[in-house]
Chains A and B, each alone.
Chain A
């Protein structure tokens, strides 16, 4: 086995890390209280669960607006543009190569944080699943104002259904997401990167131009 030369790369900015962990706390609280409201168990009590869920949900909504602002003003949105290039190489890596000790086909760099699979996942998460969850949650929260909002015809059952489907999807994402953090060159490498911002990567690897999310000024 050849000894690879590792270098530290500053992958995640302070705001990005803050947003990630804030979102983690918020989603964790939402998931726990949401499942309690759904009648699965008793932890905080129904009333407290509803109140926490409402407060945290609204907090998330506001915080998400900052994230959207950040994504567009920093040009980070380019990291989320989907691509099929090397997509199958990544799928092949996680379903086969990883067991054979192969190196990742799309290594990370500051300007290429996400592999094609991550781009697709995070794009559908940030642009579809989370907004659907937020909009359905906001509607759920505003149930008594529907008539004032011109939504008198809406059914709480349908809103609840969408919200519950979204919750299950996010729950499933979290399971896979948390597991995937262990697939770095050490078990905690990716987690450490999300805490400190710095990740150790192989120095020798070259990044192709298409993988870069565009040069910043």
Chain B
């Protein structure tokens, strides 16, 4: 007969085997669950991408007309105005439509009736060339889409010609050579005329190059203003912009900036780019200006944590890791340093990235590349200071600032380029000063600030006390282009990070990984250390006393 002990030992072996099997299968289960999950994420067929692909499936945009065959465009054009007249002979409403848009007025339509007019041609200021001085600073209107600044005929070609040339130069040359009797000059005139004609006949929807001819060079040069729009976006690759990449979707600007009656969707000062974030499924005629329009508000794998973020974090915050990834962008402009001379002469100095970091007529600059954005709550509106607003010179003056808060349902955490610098202000009136820069009274001609301020403020019928100083200012640009491919997105840990979170400045909420309760952590670790210390002491006690007992 077996003893109890023997039965026990038999059972013991059998039970051990079962236990081992169980333990191994549990471990396997975990590995399988976690890898299966990872695989699903890698295939990349997330709903948001599928939807967007469907929305843009018809890649080849088509037209029912070839402008080179139009009777109205078979003429010899000697001025821009003549071309516009030819355009309007068919497109009879284009002129009146276009003159009502912000592209022409440079005014935020919602503020036209207000005492403070928002817009480049209004009272708004920026910390670059500060102001267009009510159209009186002519250097600013070089980007105005008319043949002669803000007056006269509209310029259809700047946006619609697929073969852009320097028209003003071409017309001047044409007129000179055409008036000559020299056969060689007449031959040249013929060639220039042909060039102009081909340009006028190459008509289509605006391309990245058309829009970029102004928007890439705002502030007086490539990449000066926007960090996410510069000449590198004319022919970007997918890595620079996943939508516009010529090796990918090759989107033109108008693909997202949808247009009605020449009004192009996009952010306009106090007016958000879109009032809501509806997808094409909810409203098939909604502007495609928001990411959500094509990608929906739950674009990632169903059930994934990133989908939970879309109510508070803008797509751009994770999908644009840095801006100015190819060309540098201007980050600092200090007007207080303007006017310096070297050996009695005004001078220029090049610095990093081959860009000027000092120009006597503009001051000191700082440029940067691959810049991490700064993040703020943003509901689509930007608050803009005007020359009429009083400022507090003891603090950094926010010339523009994002509107929104965590409590605002329309607000998201959004990435911005923040351009900082020093700007002149009136010490008595406590307002920012808008100097006249170009022209015979302009600072760039006279290097005389007093004269430039008097002339510049007079353009608004605003007073200048005669006393000025400089104040540090900031200016924000929402970052929404240069969307990176999915493999280059911002990693979770760049925000969920104790020490160097990208969202370090956003307060008022608890964020896992970034936030902690110091006292709880200290108390917690104290308990852990006390427990460890306790068991170590206890163990030492046992070792010590047991040894003693054996000896005894």
Contact = CB atoms under 8 A, between A and B. Distances in A.
A21 B19 CA distance: 10
Contacts of A99: 541-542, 544-546
A45 B493 CA distance: 7
A164 interface: yes
A143 B308 contact: yes
Interface string A80-95: 0000000000000010
Nearest to A158: B510
B94 interface: no
Given A50-B305, A51-B37, A179 B535 contact: yes
Contact of B514 (A39, A167, A168, A196): A39
Q: Which of A47, A52, A161, A169 has the most CB of B within 10 A?
A: A47
A157 interface: yes
A10 B11 contact: yes
A79 to B, nearest CB: 20
Nearest to A101: B549
A197 B546 CA distance: 28
Interface residues of A, number: 51
Nearest to A171: B528
B23 interface: yes
A198 B8 contact: yes
Contact of A14 (B19, B493, B510): B19
A22 interface: yes
Contacts of B546: 99, 101
Interface string B537-552: 0110110111001000
Q: Which of B311, B535, B541 has the most CB of A within 10 A?
A: B535
B492 A51 contact: no
B15 A144 contact: no
B1 interface: no
Interface string B517-542: 10011011101101110110011011
A196 B37 contact: no
B5 interface: yes
A103 interface: no
A152 interface: no
A14 B15 contact: yes
Interface of A: 7-8, 10, 14, 17-18, 21-22, 25, 29, 37-39, 42, 45-47, 50-52, 54-56, 94, 98-101, 143-144, 155-157, 160-161, 164-165, 167-169, 171-172, 175-176, 179, 182-183, 195-198
Given A46-B492, A168-B524, A196-B16, 5 more contacts: A22-B26, A37-B513, A39-B513, A156-B510, A198-B11
7 contacts: A8-B9, A14-B15, A50-B492, A157-B517, A165-B520, A167-B524, A175-B532
